[in-house]
A = this chain, B = another copy of it.
Amino acid sequence: MKKKIVVCTDLGPVLSLLTLRDDLDVVVWPHAVDTECPQAWLLENVQGASGLVVCFKERVDGEVIKAAGPGLRAVSTISVGYVGYDHIDLPLLASRNIQVGYTPDVLTDAVADSAVMLALMASRRTNLTTSVVTSNAWSAFQWTPFALSAPQLSTTPFSAKRTVGFLGFGRIAQAVLRRLTFGFGVSDTIYTPRPEAPPQVMRDAELLRGLMPNLHSLRAVDMHTLAADSDFLFVLAPGGEATRHLIDESFLRRMKPTSVLVNNGRGSVVDSTALAKALKEGWIWGAGLDVIEEEPHVGVGHVLLAEPEVREKCVVVPHLGSATHDTRAEMARLTAVNVLRGVDGEQMESGLDLGRWQ
């Protein structure tokens, strides 16, 4: 009897890795190319499945696992973010020894590119400057040397110090740092680790060695120093209660008026209302957000988009940090390989460690 794999999301050409296997019965949500899979279709089709492929929009909860039955061996999610598996009931899957695959490492470079883009857009205030053109104001624009001038990301021979800060200092943060140090001459780095994290003295020494002589310093600091000293601050922390509103009014008030905030981590880390106030009153220079509180329910009525004085300083992209052809294709490949390995009873190429629930 063939093993069944249910695929709820678009894997592009790598779907053939599954369909070419004669020993598998592959059932694909037929509108996967442009439409999310309804939970009802999933529940109806998951019965008897050995493997299940989802994105973060499908819930893999007790109901789905019960509907699947005892043969389910693998759940593979094409995860799109820092954590990316809030939609899966991990303790339940762990208790049944079902492997869970995800795709964390492959999106590092794409998200790091996005973070640098947002830093440049927020510093140069592209919402404002591009609107000079689209509001037909360019021809009457009075050119003066300091008109529409902005903080500069790169160092120069005549301005040789730039401090970047990171809230959360994992893989993506380090990829951003490589871009900024080697590419843009950033000279100093500070970061605030998770409160419970042990000091990473040896790792930091190794990192600094690899980035010298471009980078002059790299050190862990408290939140006060992170706020006060960062010229560009990158939020790359995971979500959840422990990090909720770490960037709040008191933090933002301590930042430099020329500083730029970038969030590619989780929206909940930054208090949107406080950020809107900070932008409006000039506590900070600008913000670039790939993630935002209450997403995706964010539109022109949102506190960061409603008023022109805020909106022109705040770039909001709808959570597309990892959305490149190369990266999404690799995420799809890894998702397909993960489910195959799980169904075959092998260890996944990139499986979640479920040990804490076992």
B154–A113 CB distance below 8 A: yes
Q: Say yes or no: is A36 at the interface (Cβ < 8 Å to chain B).
A: yes
Interface residues on A, range: 35 or more
Chain B residues near A26 (CB, 8 Å)?
A: none
A326–B178 CB distance below 8 A: no
**Restricting to A95-109, which residues have a CB under 8 Å from any CB of B?**
106, 108-109
A144–B297 CB distance below 8 A: no
A152–B324 CB distance below 8 A: yes
B331–A138 CB distance below 8 A: no
Partner of A324, one of B80, B130, B142, B150: B150
Proximity bits, A215-243, B CB within 8 Å = 1, else 0: 00000000000000000000000000000
Assess A55 versus B143: contact at CB under 8 Å? Given A117-B117, A134-B305, A138-B299. Answer: yes
A129–B183 CB distance below 8 A: no
Q: Say yes or no: is A300 at the interface (Cβ < 8 Å to chain B).
A: yes
Q: Say yes or no: is A151 at the interface (Cβ < 8 Å to chain B).
A: yes
A299–B136 CB distance below 8 A: yes
B33–A320 CB distance below 8 A: no
Query: What are the nearest 6 A-B pairs in CB distance?
Result: A183-B183, A182-B182, A136-B299, A152-B324, A117-B120, A179-B183
